[in-house]
Amino acid sequence: MMLNTLLPILLFAALALAVVGAFKRFAMWRRGKPAEVDWFGGLLAIPRRYMVDLHHVVARDKYIANTHVATAGGFVLAAVLAILVHGFGLHSAVLGYVLLAATALMFVGALFVAKRRFDPPARLSKGPWMRLPKSLLMFSASLFIATLPVAGILPAGFGGWLLAAILLVAITWGVSELFFGMTWGGPMKHAFAGALHLAWHRRAERFGGGRSTGLKALNLDDPQAPLGVEKPTDFTWNQLLGFDACVQCGKCEAACPAFAAGQPLNPKKLIQDMVVGLVGGSDAKFAGSPYPGKNIGEHSGGPHLPIVALDGKALVDAETLWSCTTCRACVEECPMMIEHVDAIVDMRRHLTLEKGATPNKGAEVLDNLIATDNPGGFAPGGRLNWAADLDLPVLADKRQCDVLFWVGDGAFDMRNQRTLRALVKVLKAAAVDFAVLGLEERDSGDVARRLGDEATFQQLAKRNIATLAQYTFKTIVTADPHSFHVLKNEYGALGGHYRVLHHSTYIEQLINAGDLNLGQHQNAAVTYHDPCYLGRYNGEYEAPRNVLNAIGIEVREMQRSGFRSRCCGGGGGAPITDIPGKQRIPDMRMVDIKETSAEIVAVGCPQCTLMLEGVVEPRPQVKDIAELVAEVLIEAAPKPSVKRQPAETSA
């Protein structure tokens, strides 16, 4: 019987090729810089990370989640059984029936994969990915028919040599795609690299419901070491592995504000370019949307070649890297949990720290941060001018307090001074024991770090940490989500560990404790814009909404809100590097806002305030949560015993 002799040879040959490919691929990843990983623990954690953490992201799209469960589940089962039944010749009828069921399941899944590929959305890559459903169908169908005699449904030798030959061709196609295609760079590579990426992920804290969003500190100890990522091999090896896990689903592309604005960035293409860099070659084979305004096929690179050429073309143009607002929408959407923002900042670090090539106002802002501790270059002595008449307690006099009010660089901006003054009003009304650092405060270093200037970031951070170490306080409260994120998540690596709250969270606590006597907003149609650095970076979606509810505002949600909130365009130094596109990101966000027909958009971030107020009138008013609360504050505070209950206020 021809099939019984040839099938085992075919299967084991494909498996052997897959193993060879796996070692080659592994060696490619290992060209990256060393990284500490939990080798065994990681491998053991794959099933849980895959079925819980990864599925949690995939399940946002029910269609593809069910399709993938059927196809991948069916395939894994079918592959194992095929090796037992057809490889080792365990011709038991029971196994045969299970194998039939597995291939049938896979076939049904593959039909849905094929359906999505009929008229695929623009975000999906075409090319070899269009072939994948056919390969899946071919593999499952041929294996199904070849297994029928094993299960005893058909007599052995049914169909004669003609059917056997057809089946052999089909199975060869199937195992080429699904067995060694997995390690030799076909679309199925995502299964192999993806599983190992889950095992040795650079931010293992993200699994099991954790959150890890702070940028990794760059080691500046060795003066001779080149800084940042210049060549693909300058990434850590598990970053390279992460790039290789990409399925090119384009969810990142669909979420990216810079891509939507027509700036030359597409997160999916960027990750694929990193894969091109890892393997070597040109981007001509990329079958997805290009970087807006850039043709495919003009860029190429290799593992030891610079990624960015400042004059001429290499793998990626610098403006692609500078278009990113670090809003993390791509990372949030990525079903493979790839870290796009880390990669972009790593490459920016090289451009800024080694090449001195931060575009547009970048150099000026960084010089200002070095010379004046604020990005605008204002005299540092004016940092408290906004509160000249408020008689704010300064920590240098008080030495200790409950709440350290971190003012941030909004202190130098007339619009954001209104927010700060409103927040002070609220804090005073609640009789909070608070103080400010005053002239001792410095920029948190957020912008410097996102512009790639790790040296200036670390210098600012270390000075701030040294200042904070002199005093005693319980909590830091700030109205700036960027300072909030940096103080909370990024100072730790440099020795600063604090309890930090965004002002919306703190106001919510004050309301719940009954410390604020608040009226109600009347009939205002209000929507709320989630700041990236509060929402996606720190998971705070509820507190701002609860505060708004407490002052009688029913939030009209935008279609893109919560973890899908669209960036205002103000993060990551994007307004400073100012890469041109077809439209402005804040204008697009304002369209989202107008769709709710809100009269007021509530914000919780000085950067969002400025970006959204920069949109031409007529448009909804932009107000910070602190301002909205201060507006309804009933200041003649009653005696502490007559406190309002939260239940009353939220009615």
Partner 1 sequence: MLHNTAQASPALNVVALVSVGAHPSSGRARRAEQDARAVELGLRLAGEQLEVLHAGDPQQPALRSYLGMGLQQLHVIEQPAQADVISALHDYLQDSDAQLILTGSQAETGEGSGMLPFLLAEQLGWPMVVGLTEVEHIGNGIAQVLQALPRGQRRRLKVRLPFIASLDNAAPAARQSAFGPARRGELLSHAAEANPDALLSESPLQPARPRPKRLKIITAKTGAERMKAATAKASGGGGQIIKGDSPEAGAEAIFKLLVDEGVLR
127 Ramachandran zone, left/alpha/beta (phi>0; psi -120 to 50): left
Binds partner 1 by CB under 8 A, chosen from 12, 97, 378, 563 = 378
Retrieve residue 389's tokens: 């008449």
* Minimum gap (Å) between residue 354 Cβ and partner 1: 4
Binds partner 1 by CB under 8 A, chosen from 352, 419, 464, 607 = 352
Nearer to partner 1, 35 or 363 (CB): 363
d(CA 263, CA 257): 9
Contact between 354 and partner 1 per CB under 8 A: yes
Decide: 105 and 66 in contact? Cβ < 8 Å.
no
Residues near 267 by beta carbon (within 8 Å), at least 6 away in sequence: 252, 253, 256, 259, 330, 340
- From the list 38-46, 347-355, 566-574, 589-597, the region that binds partner 1 by CB under 8 A is 347-355
> What count of residues does the chain have?
651
* Minimum gap (Å) between residue 234 Cβ and partner 1: 13
Retrieve residue 43's tokens: 């491998």
Peptide linkage before 618 cis (omega within 30 of 0): yes
Contact between 230 and partner 1 per CB under 8 A: no
Residues near 330 by beta carbon (within 8 Å), at least 6 away in sequence: 251, 252, 253, 255, 256, 267, 340, 341
Binds partner 1 by CB under 8 A, chosen from 7, 58, 227, 551 = 227
- DSSP 8-state symbol, 474: E
The mark string for 307-346 relative to partner 1 (x by CB under 8 A, - otherwise) is ---xx-----------------------------------
Cα end-to-end distance, the chain, whole Å: 79
What is the number of helices (H) and of strands (E) in the chain?
29, 9
SS3 content of the chain, % helix, strand, coil (to 5): 55, 5, 40
Contact between 353 and partner 1 per CB under 8 A: yes
Nearer to partner 1, 50 or 378 (CB): 378
Q: What is the dihedral of CA 257, 262, 267, 272, to 10 degrees?
A: 170
Instruction: Write out the DSSP string of 21-51.
Output: HHHHHHHHHTTSB-----HHHHHHHHHHIII
Helix intervals (H) in 152-227: 160-175, 181-184, 189-199
What number of chain residues touch partner 1 (CB under 8 A)? 30
Q: Give me the amino acid identity at 405.
A: F
Residues 186-225 that bind partner 1 (CB under 8 A): 223-224
263 Ramachandran zone, left/alpha/beta (phi>0; psi -120 to 50): beta
List C-alpha distances in Å: 238 to 24, 307, 403.
15, 18, 40
Nearer to partner 1, 311 or 397 (CB): 311
Antiparallel, parallel or unpaired: β 434-436 and 400-406: parallel
Binds partner 1 by CB under 8 A, chosen from 51, 379, 493, 651 = 379
Nearer to partner 1, 256 or 366 (CB): 366
Contact between 366 and partner 1 per CB under 8 A: yes
The mark string for 482-511 relative to partner 1 (x by CB under 8 A, - otherwise) is ------------------------------
d(CA 502, CA 510): 13
* Minimum gap (Å) between residue 356 Cβ and partner 1: 3
- From the list 333-341, 351-359, 529-537, 587-595, the region that binds partner 1 by CB under 8 A is 351-359
Binds partner 1 by CB under 8 A, chosen from 43, 69, 130, 357 = 357
Q: Is 73 helix (H, G, I), strand (E, B) or coil?
A: helix
Residues near 116 by beta carbon (within 8 Å), at least 6 away in sequence: 63, 64, 67, 124
Nearer to partner 1, 12 or 378 (CB): 378
Burial of 111 (0-12, 13-18, 19+ CB in 10 A): middle
Residues 538-597 that bind partner 1 (CB under 8 A): none
Binds partner 1 by CB under 8 A, chosen from 41, 89, 208, 226 = 226
* Minimum gap (Å) between residue 364 Cβ and partner 1: 9
Decide: 607 and 623 in contact? Cβ < 8 Å.
no
- From the list 104-112, 348-356, 421-429, 547-555, the region that binds partner 1 by CB under 8 A is 348-356
Q: What is the dihedral of CA 640, 641, 646, 651, to 10 degrees?
A: -110
Residues 233-262 that bind partner 1 (CB under 8 A): none
Contact between 157 and partner 1 per CB under 8 A: no
Nearer to partner 1, 111 or 217 (CB): 217
Nearer to partner 1, 447 or 600 (CB): 447
* Minimum gap (Å) between residue 371 Cβ and partner 1: 4
- From the list 13-21, 352-360, 435-443, 472-480, the region that binds partner 1 by CB under 8 A is 352-360
- From the list 368-376, 389-397, 470-478, 569-577, the region that binds partner 1 by CB under 8 A is 368-376
* Minimum gap (Å) between residue 372 Cβ and partner 1: 4
Nearer to partner 1, 379 or 493 (CB): 379
The mark string for 422-461 relative to partner 1 (x by CB under 8 A, - otherwise) is -------------------------------xxxx-----
* Minimum gap (Å) between residue 463 Cβ and partner 1: 13
Nearer to partner 1, 354 or 595 (CB): 354
Nearer to partner 1, 368 or 417 (CB): 368
Retrieve residue 198's tokens: 């889950």
Binds partner 1 by CB under 8 A, chosen from 280, 281, 377, 614 = 377
Residues that bind partner 1 (CB under 8 A): 223-224, 226-227, 310-311, 352-359, 362-363, 366-367, 370-373, 377-380, 453-456
